[in-house]
A and B are shown apart, each in its own frame.
Chain A
Amino acid sequence: MSLFLVLGVFRMNNIGKKYFDLEYMDILARGRSPLHRLDPRAKLMTTLLFIITVVSFGKYTLLALIPFLMYPVFLVSAGGLPAGYFMKKILTVLPFVLLMGIFNPVIDRTIVARVGAVDISGGWVSFLSILLRFFLTASSALLLIALTGFNAVCGALTNLGVPKPFIVQLMFFYRYLFVLGDEAHGMDRARALRSSPAGMVRTKTFFSMTGHLLLRTFERAERIYRAMNCRGFDGRVPMLQPGRMSVRDFGFMAGWSFLFFAFRVYNVPLTLGEWLWGSLR
């Protein structure tokens, strides 16, 4: 164990923040806008179609992707969601994409366009395209959960044929995430109160805490299992079947699918720009 002692220090200060984040998404999902009331299947399918359409563009597509911003903007506005919160959330996962894409401008220096005296290389276009794609795909996935809630998405997945054991696992995991999070948060608070205010966790402390958290986890699992048995658990988890999809749900799906198709086929910004440029000259 002495080897671990020299490995370094561990940081354990973002547990509370991250769990607050999870809870906040759940609170948002309890909203009452017309978008919240749509069938989860309709929202899930539309979001998947959106993502597939966005990534189906070539790597140098930039302009034609802009109209797709309409979907996340519509979801945020009509769903009454806090736009700034989602922007911040997306920015926290940006670094990996940034790291992977930043080589494009360095390597690909072919000039593809010129505005005034400024040359624009293919690398910059594809890099900006990656950033725009990232923003579109990441925001749509987050907004799906914020408008639907995790359990409803799980229900939609069951209807779409995802195997039951996996759904049960997803729901159990999500349910006990909060329970275990509270436990870990409490442990961390107790540790913080008894140690220096720096907020760093020493390696030895980290292992001891992790070990005890694991033991509590096992005990919790056994208690849950006994409680489930007392209530007649026989290995099956019954789930509520969602009703039929209404005309509104189909309308939402069909309307957006049509728009995605239109944006995929026609380069809307370019057509607009040509018209504007033409009338200005």
Chain B
Amino acid sequence: MHMADALISPAVGATLWAASAGLIGYSSRKFKEEADDRKVPLMGVLAAFIFTVQMINFSIPATGSSGHLGGGMILAILLGPFSAFLAVASVLVVQALFFGDGGLLALGCNIFNLGFFPCFVAYPFVYRKIVRNHLTHGKIVAGSLAAAVIGLQLGAFGVVLETLFSGITELPFVTFVLLMQPIHLAIGIVEGLVTAAVVLFVFQARPEILYAVTRVEPIGAANMRTVLAGLLVATLISGGALSWFASSHPDGLEWAMLQTSGKEELESPLGLHASLESWQEKTAFLPDYGFKEAGVNVASEPLSGPSWPAVDAGTSVSGLMGGALTLLMTVCIGWGLRWRERTAA
């Protein structure tokens, strides 16, 4: 459930970047305050462990689908929320850069979905509330299972909201929710069981690791309040500023261009048509524009010729031709550069 750059708008991407960057800064400060040098290599190596285990796809019986471990919950339980958040973020950075899983702009969304929810919501408010300071087998299983399920449900819902606010896909909200939540419930249960098994194993083999984490002060209510307030401010500022910018600059500008050029076109029948058309066609392929063009095209019918009774045949054909030509040029530039590289070497 990695979000991809192709599916989000700049406003959504930037808002969650700001939120995740703020959380990384906050966690880094907390990590420094904890001042436990021992954790430096442990965090790195545990993140590598999670990365390795994530490659093991397990099939979910009777569904025919497969899932892989998010691992955020295991890291939170073994390292505590702040170190775990940094570790999850580092795994996601490597996945984005090396495997194109997610993307650079969507990295903020992914860190938030897979790091914030397990580390700062499910761990303190579910796992710690169930387990408290008395580690027993039953409590560990119940806590891990509940926390993993809730963390993943919130993460999946995050994906739905981010997709919805970006508006790139046509997926209707209700359908998407009904698609995402049950799938992630199944994955969450499996992940919760695996998490519980791993934590139980650590509890039996190296109990001191779990006790060390419980000794570190849990995230208090006051602490969380600062985090949430900071997040809210960051979201409001970046989201507000960027969505205003996004809506008024490119789209708004194009809309304005469309409106003005459309009107002018109707006033001046043929003379200015050619020059104005180039303005108008910058917004080609806009759906509501297609209808407008139909009205306009009646006037310019003789120009585009009777053989094309099209909505905007001229635009479509020249668009296709131009697209092909640009592609061809790009490929030629690539071949040229490659040839130069080879001959130089």
Contact = CB atoms under 8 A, between A and B. Distances in A.
Contacts of B190: 7
Nearest to A157: B93
Interface of A: 1, 3-4, 6-12, 14-15, 18, 21-22, 25, 33, 47-48, 51-52, 54-63, 66-67, 69-70, 73-74, 76-78, 80, 89-90, 92-93, 96-97, 100-101, 103-104, 106-108, 110-115, 120, 122-123, 125-126, 130-131, 133-134, 137-142, 144-145, 150, 153, 162-166, 168-177, 179-181, 184, 201, 206-207, 210-211, 213-215, 217-218, 220-221, 224-225, 228, 233-235, 237, 264, 266-274, 276-278, 281
B36 to A, nearest CB: 9
A168 B40 contact: yes
Contact of A104 (B40, B99, B169, B286): B169
Contacts of A278: 318
A13 to B, nearest CB: 9
B240 interface: no
A272 B315 CA distance: 12
Contacts of A21: 98-99
B326 A180 contact: no
B58 A180 contact: no
A225 B37 contact: yes
Contacts of B341: 33, 77-78, 80
Nearest to B35: A235
B97 interface: yes
Contact of A25 (B25, B98, B316): B98
Contacts, number: 373
B90 interface: yes
Query: 4 smallest A-B Cβ distances: which pairs?
Result: A273-B322, A172-B44, A273-B318, A269-B322
B254 A181 contact: no
Contacts of B66: 11
B320 A115 contact: yes
Interface string B203-244: 001100100000000000000000000000000000000000
A169 B45 contact: no
A162 B17 CA distance: 13
B250 interface: yes
B48 A10 contact: no
Interface stretch (B117-125, B126-134, B146-154, B276-284): B276-284
A100 B170 CA distance: 9
B210 to A, nearest CB: 12
A113 B45 contact: no
Main SS at interface, chain B: helix
B188 to A, nearest CB: 14
Contacts of A93: 4, 99-101
Contacts of B319: 63, 113, 269-270, 273
Contacts of B46: 217, 221
Given A97-B6, A172-B41, A122 B287 contact: yes
A175 B100 CA distance: 20
B173 interface: no
Contacts of B170: 103-104, 106-108, 123, 126
B52 A211 contact: no
Contact of B250 (A57, A67, A184): A57
A56 B190 CA distance: 38
29 contacts: A4-B193, A11-B56, A15-B55, A15-B56, A66-B326, A73-B331, A77-B336, A77-B337, A80-B338, A80-B345, A93-B101, A97-B7, A107-B172, A110-B287, A111-B290, A134-B5, A142-B98, A142-B99, A150-B98, A168-B40, A177-B51, A177-B94, A180-B51, A207-B201, A218-B206, A233-B37, A269-B322, A269-B325, A269-B326
A63 B322 contact: yes
B284 to A, nearest CB: 6
A173 B25 CA distance: 18
Nearest to A62: B285
A59 B31 CA distance: 41
Contact of A142 (B93, B100, B313, B323): B100
A24 to B, nearest CB: 10
B198 interface: yes
Contacts of B9: 55
Contacts of A78: 337, 341
A133 B106 CA distance: 13
B250 A56 contact: yes
B272 interface: no
A164 B32 CA distance: 10
Nearest to A268: B326
B90 A137 contact: no
B330 interface: yes
B5 to A, nearest CB: 4
A76 B311 contact: no
B56 A166 contact: no
Nearest to A211: B201
B52 A184 contact: yes
A150 B290 contact: no
Contacts of B47: 169, 172-173
B98 A114 contact: no
A96 to B, nearest CB: 6
B73 interface: no
A92 B305 CA distance: 46
